[in-house]
Amino acid sequence: MEGNSIVLDNGRYEILDVLNNVTIPDCIVFNKIGTGHGEKKMYVGSVNNSNVLNFFDDFDRDCFFLKSDLVKFMSDIKPELDMPQQQYARPERMKAYYKKAQESLLNVKGDVVPFRLYRVGVTPPRIYINSDSENWDIFRRIALPNISYISFLKLKGHAGNIYYYCRPFLDYRNDIVKYESPLEIEEEDKIRKSSKTEKDKGNLIQARKGQGLYRQKLLDECPFCPISGINDERLLIASHIKPWAKSNDQEKIDPKNGFALSPNFDCLFDNGYMTFADDKTIIMSPWISPMNQKRLGVYTGMKVPKLPLDKEREKYLEYHREYIYKG
């Protein structure tokens, strides 16, 4: 990403707008929770919302996934297939759908997975979209209701054509129904069943939520948010750089594996919408709109002089940029 443009395998595009976190409904996925067989349409907003109308304009546009994004999403959902946190209607079919999606992706040449979305003729004010494309069905086979969603980048190509770059994401921190990551549950269970002392178990488990000894040592070293300058400990979150569930025992409680951030910036960093370069500059994800970046007062290339960086944190940041950042 550079400024308000993004470079993909099929060229450079100007980013016009972003529509984030469109919930994946049960009706469009193969891995259903319910038993309904309603029309496979996805709700994106209301005709009363001018932002949605302006974003999709005539609602009949060329869209695309990136194969690399779909492969990453499939890797992210694998723990849910192995240890489901939801009551799926046909759990025995989930891995078959997954395998079918893998096979379909192998037949896609290049990284671009094209499809076309159109508006479904439903009486206003609700706006629904759908697709008849086989490539859209690849996504439907791996999407999971409640805990997965899709975001759209509205792009303009060099010839002025409009495209929609669609990317799926997985998030167990749903606002309506609370789920926990299978990886975190499994990791905590291993700690509880281990031969470690109760004190060590407590320190490791408390670090999962940014509490305990981990938080104390991190705040001793970084007593304020380097971006906002806030130094009230009640308003600071001890945010892991390399996620707790992906870290070994030493990394889980290592204060070098963290920053003290105020809530807005913790949310951005923890969810991969913001990361840092080794020169202490911010790298913003294109999935945060230019307008919201302006509202937050952050942008790619913005210097954060007080960011506490050393060789140890740079190692963790390299992991964050590679595996967490949503570029």
Decide: residue 269, CB within 10 A, 0-12 exposed, 13-18 middle, 19+ buried.
buried
What tens digit of pLDDT does each residue of 231-259 get?
999 999 999 999 988 999 999 999 999 99
What tens digit of pLDDT does each residue of 112-147 get?
999 998 887 766 777 888 888 999 999 999 999 888
Give CA–CA dist 40/319, Å, rounded: 38
Residue 36's pLDDT is what? Answer: 58
- Taking the model in full, what pTM does it have? 0.74
Q: What is the mean pLDDT of residues 157-168?
A: 89
Task: Quickly state the pLDDT bin for 39 (edges 50, 70, 90).
Answer: low
Under 8 Å between Cβ of 252 and 207: yes
Buried b (16+ CB within 10 A) or exposed e, 169-184: bbebeeeeeebebbbb
Structure tokens at 322: 């590679």
